[in-house]
């Protein structure tokens, strides 16, 4: 099966979100930390401190830092900056899928990865995230498939080739 596609910033944002949400502990920790830091900021902002300007500025600083830690806020700005500063992410990609593995070809990168290397995949409404290792994934948009049947065939191939390895379906 041969596919060609170009990823968009929204694809990367969706992939980042699905990857992060699949790591529930980290995701919940970041949410709790952001709420704690925002709460601390509100405490500094509204606590009776005789109207000290320093504490009000410190409160606003903590609220800003806490807001930046919110995962759904963070990934939008992080991915947008990454997208703008890395032209490689905007290159067209050719993907060759075979019984042996997957070959990625772009203007800057060419790599082949055999099926036994892959640990798992995550499926979102618009993407497949395919993991050769725990924190590294390839992104394949479903729009790259010419038909729905081709996407179903690829999903079946992933399940066969990855065997009992972890498969996660993200919303």
Residue 33 CA to residue 49 CA, distance in Å, equals 25
Answer yes or no: do 78 and 94 share one domain.
no
Secondary element (H or E) of residue 133: strand 127-133
Burial (CB < 10 A; 0-12, 13-18, 19+), residue 18, is: buried
Both 78 and 95 in a single domain? no
pLDDT category at 100 given cuts 50, 70, 90 is very high
Evaluate whether 113 touches 101 at the Cβ level (below 8 Å): yes
Q: Are residues 108 and 63 in the same domain?
A: no
166 DSSP 8-state letter: -
State the average pLDDT over residues 72-85: 74
- Banded model confidence at residue 164, pLDDT cuts 50, 70, 90: low
Residue-range definition of the domain harbouring residue 150: 2-7+90-169
165 and 95 inside one domain: yes
Instruction: Give the pairing type, strands 167-169 and 120-123.
Output: parallel
The answer on 97 and 59 residing in a single domain is no
Please state the domain count of the chain. 2
Q: Name the pTM for this structure.
A: 0.71
Residue 59: exposure state from Cβ atoms within 10 A (0-12, 13-18, ≥19)? buried
* Contact (CB, 8 A) for 129 and 122: yes
CATH of the domain at 154: 2.30.29
Tens digits of residue pLDDT in 48-64: 766 678 888 888 898 88
Domain-terminating residue out of 85, 106, 139 = 85
Co-location of 73 and 20 in the same domain: yes
Q: Residues 79, 97: one domain?
A: no
Per-residue pLDDT band at 114 (split at 50, 70, 90): very high
């Amino acid at each position: 099966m041969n596919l060609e596609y170009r990823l968009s910033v929204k694809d990367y944002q969706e992939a980042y979100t699905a990857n992060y949400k699949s790591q529930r502990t980290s995701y919940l920790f970041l949410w709790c930390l952001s709420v704690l830091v925002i709460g601390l900021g509100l405490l500094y902002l509204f606590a009776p401190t005789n109207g000290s300007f320093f504490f009000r500025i410190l409160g606003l600083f903590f609220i800003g830092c806490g807001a930046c830690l919110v995962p759904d806020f963070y990934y939008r700005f992080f991915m947008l900056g990454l997208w703008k500063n890395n032209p490689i992410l905007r290159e067209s990609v050719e993907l060759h899928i075979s019984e042996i593995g997957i070959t990625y070809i772009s203007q800057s990168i060419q790599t082949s990865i055999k099926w036994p290397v892959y640990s798992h995949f995550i499926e979102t409404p618009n993407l497949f995230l395919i993991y050769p290792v725990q924190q590294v994934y390839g992104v394949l948009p479903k729009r790259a498939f010419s038909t729905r049947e081709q996407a179903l065939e690829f999903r079946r191939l992933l399940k066969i080739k990855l065997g009992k390895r972890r498969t996660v379906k993200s919303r």
